[in-house]
């Protein structure tokens, strides 16, 4: 076959983003002089060439229906330059090159029910996963937590009230997404999985599930003459990792699956190293449809952070300056034995080294 007859390979990876960029952004790529924040929800980038682009940010739901997506695109065609992009926190951003287009675009978004904000020292949209739709381990509906909390934090999204940016994350399981937020609301299973022995031999990938447990708490066992599994409950850390390869190992529980709030996670930035989150509240009821207990704790932390932090301190920097005892004092959150990691097996069996284990 000659080269001319060969078809182009079908690329299934991420497409080249440059083709979707606003032409002014493409032209000035890597040549930006500075950016500033003319008003909440709006960024202005100025290039060395003198070109300017305005970015208008609005919050959207994580999973967009076709009607909403078309509405957003129509607004982009009519009031912006026809270019949009989504951020990792489910915000939509429109790019325009003329200042005169900014306010009509904001008005069109507001009239259609979208809320403009999420820039600079605001609480930006909560980042969340949507486990029920695409993942195999969810223990709760992270999107519901996000919706309930954003309804109550909307004034912090549209204004610049915070000492610095606040990133909040949620997760629908205990072990994967949802880390590294200034505040994270994560699921917390508090009981080992319950095994349905009648189903294990038909459904479970037993070698996978035994290998999956981070503390080697699962063993093959014969139960009622059938091959099954058993869990050493003294070792089990209730992580939920066994549920995906073995659905009969059910760990989700309306009463015993709780929420926990962690704070202070931060990727490295220009001023500091990465920081790990620390547990500040555990055993919070996983209470749909509005999750009032978890929301109240997050609001209390934000209130004290707003009142006590210096300008430009992130939450982890604020707590490091005032100290953890003072943090628990001002927020009124109880410091309990559950805040101390005293599990003796962790040194030998958790992933505390750079070795990769499967």
Among 56, 102, 146, 231, binds ligand SF4 (CB under 6 A): 231
Among 40, 76, 118, 178, binds ligand SF4 (CB under 6 A): 178
Stretch that binds ligand SF4, among 150-158, 173-181, 259-267, 277-285 (CB under 6 A): 173-181
- Report the nearest approach of ligand SF4 to the CB of residue 21 (Å): 29
Q: Is residue 258 helix, strand or coil?
A: strand
Among 109, 185, 217, 260, binds ligand SF4 (CB under 6 A): 217
User: Does 210 contact ligand SF4 by CB under 6 A?
Assistant: no
Which residues ranging from 71 to 100 are in contact with ligand SF4 (CB under 6 A)?
Answer: none
Helix axes 324-331, 315-322, angle to 10 degrees: 110
Stretch that binds ligand SF4, among 30-38, 198-206, 237-245, 318-326 (CB under 6 A): 237-245
User: Does 213 contact ligand SF4 by CB under 6 A?
Assistant: yes
With CA atoms as reference, report the closest residue to 113 among 66, 158, 58.
58
Q: Which residues pair with 168 in a beta bridge?
A: 183
Kindly calculate the radius of gyration of the chain based on its CA atoms and give it in whole angstroms: 24
- Report the nearest approach of ligand SF4 to the CB of residue 267 (Å): 18
Which residues does 295 contact at the CB level (< 8 Å), separation at least 6?
148, 149, 152
- Give CA–CA dist 352/346, Å, rounded: 8
Which residues ranging from 255 to 314 are in contact with ligand SF4 (CB under 6 A)?
Answer: none
229: left (phi over 0), alpha (psi -120 to 50) or beta: beta
Among 171, 180, 275, 277, binds ligand SF4 (CB under 6 A): 171
| CA–CA–CA angle 14, 92, 79 (5° rounding) | 115
Binding track, positions 23-62, relative to ligand SF4; x by CB under 6 A: ----------------------------------------
DSSP 129: -
With CA atoms as reference, report the closest residue to 142 among 206, 102, 89.
89
Give the count of residues interacting with ligand SF4 (CB under 6 A). Answer: 27
Give the chain's count of helices (H) and strands (E): 11, 14
Stretch that binds ligand SF4, among 40-48, 240-248, 274-282, 309-317 (CB under 6 A): 240-248
Exposure of 256 by Cβ count < 10 A (0-12 exposed, 13-18 middle, 19+ buried)?
middle
Which residues ranging from 126 to 155 are in contact with ligand SF4 (CB under 6 A)?
Answer: 129, 131, 135, 137-138
Stretch that binds ligand SF4, among 176-184, 255-263, 273-281, 294-302 (CB under 6 A): 176-184
Stretch that binds ligand SF4, among 67-75, 88-96, 155-163, 214-222 (CB under 6 A): 214-222
User: Does 184 contact ligand SF4 by CB under 6 A?
Assistant: no
CB 86 within 8 A of CB 93: yes
Task: Give the residue with the Cβ less far from ligand SF4, 211 or 296.
Answer: 211
* 231, HSE (Cβ side, Cα atoms, 13 Å): 28
CB 197 within 8 A of CB 268: no
Task: Give the residue with the Cβ less far from ligand SF4, 58 or 242.
Answer: 242
Task: Provide the binding-site residues for ligand SF4, judged by CB under 6 A.
Answer: 129, 131, 135, 137-138, 171-173, 176-178, 192-193, 212-213, 215, 217-218, 231, 236-242, 251
């Amino acid at each position: 076959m000659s080269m001319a007859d060969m078809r182009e390979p079908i690329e299934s990876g991420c497409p080249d983003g440059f083709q979707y960029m606003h032409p002014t952004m493409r032209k000035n790529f890597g040549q930006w002089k500075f950016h500033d924040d003319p008003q909440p929800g709006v960024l202005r980038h100025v290039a060395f060439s003198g070109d300017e682009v305005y970015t208008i940010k609005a919050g959207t739901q994580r999973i967009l229906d076709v009607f909403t997506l078309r509405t957003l695109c129509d607004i982009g065609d009519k009031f912006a330059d026809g270019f949009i992009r989504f951020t990792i926190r489910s915000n939509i951003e429109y790019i325009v090159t003329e200042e005169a287009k900014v306010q009509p675009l904001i008005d069109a978004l507001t009239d259609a029910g979208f809320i403009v904000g999420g820039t600079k020292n605001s609480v930006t949209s909560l980042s969340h996963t949507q486990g029920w739709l695409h993942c195999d381990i969810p223990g709760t509906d992270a999107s519901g937590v996000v919706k309930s909390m954003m309804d109550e934090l909307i004034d912090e999204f549209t204004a610049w009230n915070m000492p610095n940016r606040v990133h909040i994350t949620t997760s629908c399981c205990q072990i994967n997404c949802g880390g590294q937020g200034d505040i994270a609301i994560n699921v917390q299973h508090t009981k080992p999985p319950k095994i349905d022995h009648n189903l294990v031999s038909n459904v479970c990938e037993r070698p996978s599930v035994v290998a999956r447990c981070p503390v080697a708490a699962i063993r093959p066992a014969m139960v009622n003459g059938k091959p099954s599994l058993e869990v050493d409950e003294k070792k089990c850390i209730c992580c939920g990792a066994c549920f995906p390869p073995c659905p009969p190992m059910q760990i989700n529980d309306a009463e015993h699956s709780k929420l926990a709030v962690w704070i202070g996670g931060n990727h490295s930035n220009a001023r500091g190293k990465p920081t790990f989150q620390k547990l500040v509240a555990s055993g919070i009821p996983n209470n749909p449809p509005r999750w009032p207990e978890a929301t109240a704790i997050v609001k209390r932390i934000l209130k004290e952070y707003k009142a006590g932090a210096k300008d430009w301190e992130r939450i982890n920097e604020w707590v490091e300056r005032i100290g953890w005892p003072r943090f628990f004092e001002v927020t009124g959150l109880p410091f309990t034995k559950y805040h101390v990691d005293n599990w003796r097996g962790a040194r030998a069996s958790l992933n505390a080294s750079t070795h990769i284990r499967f």
